[in-house]
């Protein structure tokens, strides 16, 4: 099978600023991968490129062998950094919305997760707290049977107890051939569930390695290595 | 099973150690069937691939074996478990003696301290 993601010398510039410069990255199937880097290192830009919300200035991106577009949106489940659901919707309506939109959406799974996290499906999104809204979005995204999950800061506003539940959901929900790409600053919280880690530094791939290899070679956690590499 | 995984050392090695400890302590009995990799991983809060790697390691040294159709089991070889227990006791003792050395005690002195403490605890 071809890799789930291939970036070939991808460069993306915003006016007067290079967000990503000559990024070469291949991600295999069946992995949980941390996309880590300080603010402004290009994490969100990379995720947007993968999801066809941005187009590279040069270079090529392949998702399961094809260019980003309508076909790739069917196999990628994307949690953006900002909410995009309409405020007036209830949780129930949002589920219906996803069900209409994506063939691979499993509403049974979504409802089970809502029940576990004690979220009332009848409540309107605008009445929910920031953290609860984040949970709802993550539930929607993880209830798809996608081949690639792109999660941009999925647990930032979520309390530690629910964080554990969500990480467990990620571990137990992803299928053997699916890859999960997680961008986050909460490295210590997620590093136990990662297979691999990608460090972005000023728009370039600084490191791409198995997490246990890093621990063997460096004798330290990913969190400590991050603090060392990106020391201010 | 209560897992205690930190992020400083490779996770798969810690899983191997803790499953071994579970076998020694009798939490896992000889011949017990293990949960599926996915359930076991979720239980430990780690990645299924990492758990798989740990189980493969334990299979390689013979503590686990796989029955192609029905899953993965703890060895029934009591001699092997006994040997594991002995090795584990040795590791702990060597580690203890090294720490005592750093405090400036010779082996004989450490031994004497241990004997005295055991006597006190019995009182």
Domain of residue B98 covers 79-122
Q: Is the whole model's pTM more than 0.80, yes or no?
A: yes
ipTM of the prediction = 0.78
Interface check B98 vs A, CB under 8 A: no
Please provide the average confidence, as pLDDT, over all residues in chain B: 93
Cα of A34 to nearest chain B Cα, Å:
12
What is the per-residue pLDDT for A156? 83
Number of domains into which chain B is organized: 2
A180 contacts on B by Cβ (under 8 Å): none
Judge whether B4 lies within some domain: no
Count CA atoms within 13 Å of residue A209 on its CB side. Answer: 13
Instruction: Return all residues near A52 (Cβ < 8 A) that are at least 6 apart.
Output: A68, A69, A72, A73
Of the candidates A171, A215, A220, which has its C-beta nearest B41's C-beta? Answer: A171
Q: Is the Cβ pair A212, B10 closer than 8 Å?
A: yes
Q: Does B54 touch chain A (CB under 8 A)?
A: no
Do B20 and B52 share a structural domain? yes
Q: Are residues B18 and B51 in the same domain?
A: yes
Assess whether B94 and B71 both reside in one domain: no
Q: Are residues B31 and B86 in the same domain?
A: no
Same structural domain for residues B15 and B70?
yes
Q: Name chain B contacts of A168, Cβ cutoff 8 Å.
A: 42, 45
B93 in any annotated domain? yes
Closest residue in B to A29 (Cα) is B49
CATH number at residue B40: 1.10.10.10
| Kind of pairing between the strands at B71-74 and B64-67 | antiparallel
Two tokens, residue B108:
């004989």
B5 domain-assigned? no
Query: What are the structural domains of chain A?
Result: 5-229 (3.40.50.300)
pLDDT recorded at residue A126: 93
Secondary-structure percent of chain B, ordered helix, strand, coil, rounded to 5: 65, 5, 30
Query: Does residue B62 sit within a domain?
Result: yes
User: Considering the domain boundaries, does residue B113 fall inside one?
Assistant: yes
For residue B3, tell me if it sits in a domain: no
Band of pLDDT at residue A161, cut at 50, 70 and 90: confident
pLDDT band at A1 (very low <50, low <70, confident <90, very high): confident
For residues B28 and B67, membership in a common domain is answered with yes
Residue A92 scores a pLDDT above 90: yes
Cα–Cα distance for residue pair A8/B44, rounded to 1 Å: 37
Indicate if B48 and B17 belong to the same structural domain. Answer: yes
B1 belongs to a structural domain:
no
């Amino acid at each position: 099978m071809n890799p789930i993601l291939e970036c070939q010398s991808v460069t993306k510039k915003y006016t007067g600023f290079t967000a990503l410069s000559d990024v070469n990255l291949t991600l295999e199937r069946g992995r949980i991968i941390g996309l880590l880097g300080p603010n402004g290192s290009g994490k969100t830009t990379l995720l947007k490129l993968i999801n066809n919300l941005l187009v590279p200035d040069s270079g090529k991106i392949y998702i399961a062998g094809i260019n980003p577009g309508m076909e790739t949106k069917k196999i990628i489940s994307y949690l953006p950094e900002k909410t995009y659901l309409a405020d007036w919707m209830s949780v129930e309506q949002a589920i219906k919305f996803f069900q209409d939109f994506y063939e691979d959406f499993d509403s049974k799974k979504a409802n089970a997760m809502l029940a576990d996290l004690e979220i009332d499906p009848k409540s309107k999104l605008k009445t929910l707290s920031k953290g609860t809204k984040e949970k709802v979005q993550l539930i929607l995204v993880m209830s798809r049977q996608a081949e690639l999950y792109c999660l941009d800061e999925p647990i930032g506003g979520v309390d530690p107890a629910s964080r554990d539940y969500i990480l467990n959901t990620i571990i137990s929900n992803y299928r053997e051939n699916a890859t999960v790409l997680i961008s986050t600053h909460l490295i210590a919280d997620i590093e136990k569930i990662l297979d691999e880690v990608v460090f972005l530094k000023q728009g370039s791939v600084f490191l791409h390695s198995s997490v246990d290899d890093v621990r063997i070679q460096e004798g330290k956690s990913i969190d400590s290595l991050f603090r060392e590499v990106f020391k201010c | 099973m209560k897992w205690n995984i930190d992020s400083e050392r490779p996770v798969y090695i810690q899983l191997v150690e803790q499953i071994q400890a579970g076998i020694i302590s009798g939490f896992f009995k000889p011949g017990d069937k293990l949960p599926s990799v996915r359930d076991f991983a979720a239980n430990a809060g780690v990645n299924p691939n990492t758990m798989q790697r740990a189980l493969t390691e334990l299979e390689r040294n013979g503590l686990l074996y796989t029955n192609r159709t029905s899953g993965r089991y703890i060895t029934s070889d009591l001699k092997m478990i006994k040997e594991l227990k002995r090795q584990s006791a040795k590791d702990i003792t060597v580690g203890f003696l090294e720490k005592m050395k750093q405090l400036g005690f010779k082996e004989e002195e450490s031994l004497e301290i241990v004997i005295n403490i055991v006597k006190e605890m019995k009182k």
